[in-house]
């Protein structure tokens, strides 16, 4: 790597900008639209691996595929920790180790991931996949009826409907429960989940400068309250009923049953762990709803992409039925559009933390060092892609039209902390995008603007103009 040539490895210290007192180099992250663009700019000065102090936190940023693989795969067990941000504690009942994504690696995490795997990573030929498919078909029938209630030919806020559809697919699949879109408590829970998803996707100075906390007091209380309200909803509207009908002598009906049964069998699991795990996974629906919104924004900003997807939908369904998951294989352009959206949105990989004194590329990395994985560079770097700024789904298609993903494309990360929800993401985002585009032409007033380096859009975001498609459109 260039960093290798630039530095004397004998010194074993990693190059990087000189920190200022108190704030370290925090100010350098504000020089670009996203901190990850700033990391890329700094890597041109200091090499593909560089160190940076943010507040008093020692951080290392890795910027190329080899270094990223070393952190996530080869030395994955040395980098299994997560940052100790106060916000993360606030979101998870005062202890971030309650969260699957924000906890440090532990035996408990291994158990939690393994319970989740069957349900959250259904394989294509499994019974679980058939269930996901059926849940998707049922909800898409409801979704269409809800869309029909929306005004057409004028800007309209479709995010709540998209999120409600995602939430219902999750609660139906994981808890065998779904809700009416008019249910006020459900609407509120979906909104709070979305607020939290937006929140998690923001970076705050207070993460690195905890003494700023008094200024953020009101904000932190708001976050804790969202989490409390969600907990209340899940307990009263999902868990209570589930528990009263649980039959320990039968196989689990769903993920909720599996979790409740596990509680009886595993002395290391307690009630809090179970509830937080369920909340975490139900919360995954917000990520998908937001990804759908970003995908739709890309589509309206590139009308030729929408036309091609509609052509694919019409060919496969012959205009006689709704799309379903088993159509996915025959709709590579649509799938490629979702990959291209994930590439351009370039959602950050949650920072990792060194859990012991270790090395990267021969350089010493002390226990507790925060590691930023610069996937923005992997997703948008000139050395990895032709015309990386262009939105071009075809880049994920072979000459014969099959979907292919290059090895450096890791939107869900890789290694032992890789995203557990990635299969559900692919299934449910495909269903919502295709169902919507089969029924409607979409437009916006102006450009639907999204934030680089972010797969989230604000809870109140851009609106779409829906025009029902007619027979002539098909
Ligand atoms: C737009 C959709 C999504 C994207 C782009 C995404 C991406 C990611 C990324 C980059 C990570 C960090 C991996 C690492 O630190 O190395 C992650 C972790 C995680 N994701 Fe996702 N994700 C998405 C949706 C979901 C959904 C729907 C679920 C749940 C059903 C989910 C569950 C998780 C969990 C539990 C972790 C933490 C794993 C761990 O730390 O051990 N994700 N995701």
Q: Are strands 352-353 and 358-360 parallel, antiparallel or unpaired?
A: unpaired
C-alpha to C-alpha distance for 169 and 175, rounded to whole angstroms: 10
- The predicted complex's ipTM stands at 0.98
Tens of pLDDT, residue by residue over 444-460, are 988 889 998 899 999 99
- CB of 98 shorter than 6 A to ligand 1: no
Structure tokens at 219: 């904000």
Tens of pLDDT, residue by residue over 328-342, are 999 999 999 999 999
C-alpha to C-alpha distance for 436 and 309, rounded to whole angstroms: 11
Structure tokens at 34: 């996203």
C-alpha to C-alpha distance for 433 and 8, rounded to whole angstroms: 51
Of all atoms in ligand 1, which is nearest to the CA of residue 351? 15
Q: Please report which helix (H) or strand (E) contains residue 373, including its range.
A: strand 370-373
Contact 448, 306 (CB under 8 A): no
Residue owning the nearest CA to atom 30 of ligand 1: 421
Which strands form 440-443's sheet, in the order they lie side by side? 155-156, 464-468, 440-443
Structure tokens at 340: 């291209």
Give 117 Cα–ligand 1 centroid separation in angstroms: 13
* Residue-by-residue DSSP string for 411-433: TT--STT--S-HHHHHHHHHHHH
pLDDT tier at 86, thresholds 50, 70, 90: confident
- CB of 291 shorter than 6 A to ligand 1: yes
Which strands form 370-373's sheet, in the order they lie side by side? 49-54, 57-62, 370-373, 352-353
- CB of 76 shorter than 6 A to ligand 1: no
Structure tokens at 377: 């560079």
Establish whether 419 is an annotated binding residue. yes
C-alpha to C-alpha distance for 101 and 91, rounded to whole angstroms: 12
Give 440 Cα–ligand 1 centroid separation in angstroms: 30
Tens of pLDDT, residue by residue over 118-131, are 888 888 778 888 99
Contact 82, 103 (CB under 8 A): yes
Residue to probe by mutation, ligand 1, list 36, 110, 254, 421, most atoms within 8 Å of CB: 421
Of all atoms in ligand 1, which is nearest to the CA of residue 105? 41
DSSP three-state, residue 205: helix
pLDDT value at residue 9: 52
C-alpha to C-alpha distance for 343 and 395, rounded to whole angstroms: 11
C-alpha to C-alpha distance for 410 and 364, rounded to whole angstroms: 26
Quick one: DSSP state of residue 442?
A: E
Q: Inform me whether the pLDDT recorded for 2 exceeds 70.
A: no
Q: Please report which helix (H) or strand (E) contains residue 144, including its range.
A: helix 127-148
Residue owning the nearest CA to atom 20 of ligand 1: 419
Structure tokens at 94: 């005062």
Give 421 Cα–ligand 1 centroid separation in angstroms: 6
CA angle 117, 82, 44 (to 5 degrees): 110
Q: To 10 degrees, what angle do helices 303-317 and 271-301 make?
A: 110
Instruction: Give the max Cα distance, the chain.
Output: 71
Residue to probe by mutation, ligand 1, list 287, 289, 457, most atoms within 8 Å of CB: 287
Residue owning the nearest CA to atom 40 of ligand 1: 101
Residue owning the nearest CA to atom 31 of ligand 1: 421
Q: Where are the alpha helices (DSSP H) in 149-301?
A: 159-175, 184-200, 217-234, 240-244, 255-265, 271-301
Give 184 Cα–ligand 1 centroid separation in angstroms: 28
Give 116 Cα–ligand 1 centroid separation in angstroms: 12
pLDDT tier at 366, thresholds 50, 70, 90: very high
Give 4 Cα–ligand 1 centroid separation in angstroms: 31
Average pLDDT over residues 361-380: 96
Q: Inform me whether the pLDDT recorded for 5 exceeds 50.
A: no
Give 29 Cα–ligand 1 centroid separation in angstroms: 24
Residue (of 390, 288, 397, 411) closest to 332 by Cα position: 397
Tens of pLDDT, residue by residue over 288-346, are 999 999 999 999 999 999 999 999 999 999 988 999 999 999 999 999 999 999 999 99
- CB of 103 shorter than 6 A to ligand 1: no
């Amino acid at each position: 790597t260039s960093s290798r040539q630039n530095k004397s490895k004998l010194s074993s210290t990693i190059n990087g900008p000189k920190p200022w007192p108190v704030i370290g180099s925090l100010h350098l992250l504000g020089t670009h639209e996203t901190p990850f663009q700033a990391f890329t700019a700094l890597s041109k000065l200091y090499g593909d691996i560089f160190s940076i102090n943010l507040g008093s936190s020692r951080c290392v940023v890795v910027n190329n595929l080899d270094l990223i693989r070393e952190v996530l795969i080869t030395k994955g067990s040395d980098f299994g920790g997560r940052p100790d941000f106060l916000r993360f504690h606030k979101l998870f009942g005062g202890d971030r180790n309650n969260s699957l994504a924000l906890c440090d690696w532990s035996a408990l995490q291994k158990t939690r991931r393994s319970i989740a795997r069957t349900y959250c990573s259904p394989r294509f030929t499994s019974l679980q996949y058939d269930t996901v498919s059926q849940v998707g078909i049922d909800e898409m029938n409801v979704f269409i009826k809800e869309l029909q209630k929306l005004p057409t030919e004028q800007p309209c806020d479709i995010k709540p409907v998209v999120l409600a559809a995602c939430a219902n697919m999750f609660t139906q699949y994981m808890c065998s429960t779904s809700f009416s879109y008019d249910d006020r408590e459900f609407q509120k829970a979906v909104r709070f989940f979305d607020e939290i998803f937006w929140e998690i996707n923001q970076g705050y100075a207070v993460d690195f400068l905890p003494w700023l906390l008094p200024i953020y007091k009101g904000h932190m209380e708001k976050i804790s309250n969202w989490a409390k309200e969600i907990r209340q909803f899940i307990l009263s509207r999902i868990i209570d009923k589930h528990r009263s009908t649980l039959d320990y002598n039968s196989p689990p009906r769903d993920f909720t049953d599996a979790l409740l049964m596990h509680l009886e069998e595993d002395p290391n699991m307690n009630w809090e762990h179970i509830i937080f795990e369920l909340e975490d996974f139900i919360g995954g629906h917000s990520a998908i709803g937001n990804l759908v919104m970003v995908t739709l924004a890309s589509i309206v900003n590139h009308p030729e992409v929408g036309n091609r997807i509609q052509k694919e939908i019409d060919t496969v369904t012959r205009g006689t039925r709704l799309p379903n998951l088993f159509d996915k294989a025959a709709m590579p352009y649509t799938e490629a559009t979702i990959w291209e959206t994930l590439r351009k949105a370039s959602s950050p990989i949650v920072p990792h933390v060194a859990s012991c004194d270790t090395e990267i590329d021969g350089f010493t990395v002390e226990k507790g060092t925060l590691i930023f994985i610069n996937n923005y560079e992997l997703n948008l770097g000139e050395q990895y892609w032709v015309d990386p700024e262009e939105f071009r789904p075809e880049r994920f298609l072979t000459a014969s039209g099959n979907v292919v993903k290059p090895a450096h494309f890791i939107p869900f990360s890789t290694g032992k902390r890789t995203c557990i929800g990635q299969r559900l993401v692919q299934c449910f985002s495909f269903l919502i995008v295709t169902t919507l585009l089969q029924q409607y032409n979409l437009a916006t007033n102006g450009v639907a603007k999204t934030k680089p380096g972010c797969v989230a859009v604000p809870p109140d975001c851009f609106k779409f103009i829906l025009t029902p498609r007619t027979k002539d459109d098909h």
